[in-house]
Structure 1
Amino acid sequence: MNDDVPDITEEEAALHARVKLLRQEHADLSASIDALSEAAVPDQLLIARLKRKKLALKDEIVKIEDQILPDIIA
């Protein structure tokens, strides 16, 4: 058995899976925003909505990551 690998709980595993899913969705939104921006007449309203959703995803990712690795005040 390898003692270097810490045991993670089911809750932590679920949080890691959620972060992975959110990161993929964030990347998909980035690609969509880039594609829409390159259109001849970009839909600025749609781009703004996607950017807000992307920012909300980033905030959720940070929140979950803080639950996984909380700050330790030394």
Structure 2
Amino acid sequence: MRSYEIVREIFNQCSNNQMRDVHIEEKEVEDPEAYVREFCQGKDASIEKDVRSDGTEIFDVNIAGLRQRFSFTPFD
């Protein structure tokens, strides 16, 4: 298992509010994509994945119209 800093951003749906909720945790995860899919299990969700050059895996998630982003940055 690999250790990651996981940042979960929940985007505000109010048009005049640019703030977002941000949750940060350090966790050992076998597979970041499986972690996100388990989080979305049973929900009407779409998931898009991007991998940055530094190894960070980004998952843009839409759950019934609520946008969220999960960023998994590995610890070396």
TM-score (norm. length: structure 1)? 0.27
TM-score (norm. length: structure 2)? 0.27
The structure with the largest alpha-carbon Rg is 1
